[in-house]
Amino acid sequence: MERNPLGKTFSYLLTESRTLIDTGVPTDNAYKGLQRQLEEHGLKPQDIERVIITHLHNDHIGLAQTLQEHGAELVASRVAAEKQAQVQEEYRNLYELNVEETRLFGGAEYLNFLARFVYAFRDVPRPLRIDRTLEDGEIFSLDGFSFKVIWTPGHSHEHIVLYDEADRLLFSGDHVLPKITSHVALHSYDHRDPLGEYLDSLEKVKDLDVETVLPGHEWAFHNLQERIEQLRAHHSRRLQEMKDTLKDGERTVYQVGSRVHWDSRPWPEMSFWTKRMAATETYAHLVYMRNRGEVKEEKKGDTLYYRLA
């Protein structure tokens, strides 16, 4: 698998309440890095009282269980806690679900390749035990700090951002990043409209009075509203670009994906895993347009086809 294009994940330490917002990847190196940085504040991992996680992606929860074993309380959205059970269920036949999805997306030529990685789909992650759950709109107060929890589904369904009104800070996780467009994707077995949710979630944070945004990756930034406008414009361009690929007839998800521009690298140079990610992103856009009557979806045999409505 390719390196995470997002690079580093930020972990934020609220010193007075000994709280961490997100943790890095689950590697020894990341743990040593965290230890070293905590030492600069005279703290050890055992001193961390709680870890708040914005969403359940590996680069954000990687060290959460380790810190929990050292005594930290694990805090996440209620949706994150509910998702633990669903994910365990999904993992029971994740490989079969992915075979079905590959066919639905029109990627039958990749099935032999996928079969070589059955083992990777059988590797069920240990569920997180979330000690305290947060509700949308809840005010969460800690020593020296108080913030509003805002549920922002889209990049992932359980995603929350934390808004500190007094200091005009927004811990944005992966909801709004300064340069990279958050990956908004959908698996065929998820039955959601994540792009619709994502665009609604951008609206939810757009009018907040924010001086500084502290995201999960890249760098801190100040132009929240402008950035949100850019992201909305990006997705409408993207939707149009995908629609344009349907002008001369119906196409599968993989066909649409192979005909649009990708920032990472051209389609023919992508590994299967990157194509699969690109296909789930394409599917999220097609489902968005299908739900709004802009494209028609038809299942023929095991495969979905899209055409202009």
Residues that bind Zn ion (CB under 5 A): 57, 174
Residue 76: CB minimum distance to Zn ion, A: 13
DSSP secondary-structure letter at 181?
P
- Shortest CB 56 distance to Zn ion, Å: 8
CB nearer Zn ion, residue 54 or residue 98: 54
Task: Give the contacts of 70 (CB within 8 A, at least 6 positions apart).
Answer: 45, 46, 48
Closest CB to Zn ion among residues 174, 193? 174
Question: Dihedrals φ, ψ of 303, to 5°?
Answer: -125, 145
Residue (79 or 104) nearer to Zn ion, CB? 79
Long-range contacts of 34-38 (CB under 8 A, 24+ apart): 34/63, 37/13, 38/13
Closer residue to Zn ion (CB): 38 or 64? 64
Burial environment of residue 149 by CB neighbours within 10 A (0 to 12, 13 to 18, 19 or more):
buried
242 and 289 Cβ atoms separated by less than 8 Å: yes
Closest to Zn ion by CB, 62 or 107: 62
Q: CA-to-CA distance for 290 and 106, rounded, in angstroms?
A: 17
Residue 260: which of 273, 249, 274, 244 has the closest Cα?
244
The smaller minimum CB distance to Zn ion, of residues 57 and 285, is found at 57
Sheet holding 12-14, edge to edge: 12-14, 19-21, 50-52, 73-77, 132-134
Tell me if residue 284 falls in helix, strand or coil: helix
Smallest distance from the beta carbon of 146 to Zn ion, in angstroms? 25
Alpha-carbon torsion 139, 145, 150, 155, what sign?
negative
Nearest CB to Zn ion, comparing residues 30 and 289? 30
Minimum CB–partner distance for residue 182 and Zn ion (Å) = 7
| Phi and psi angles of residue 108, each rounded to the nearest 5 degrees, phi first | -55, -30
Encoded amino acid at 61, one letter: I
Question: Closest approach of Cβ 245 to Zn ion, in Å?
Answer: 27
Q: How near is the Cβ of 249 to Zn ion at its closest, in Å?
A: 35
Cβ proximity to Zn ion, 175 vs 235, nearer residue: 175
Least spacing, CB of residue 277 vs Zn ion, in Å: 12
**Chain residue at closest Cβ approach to Zn ion:** 57
* Minimum separation from the CB atom of position 57 to Zn ion (A): 3
Integer Cα distance of 12 and 19 in angstroms: 8
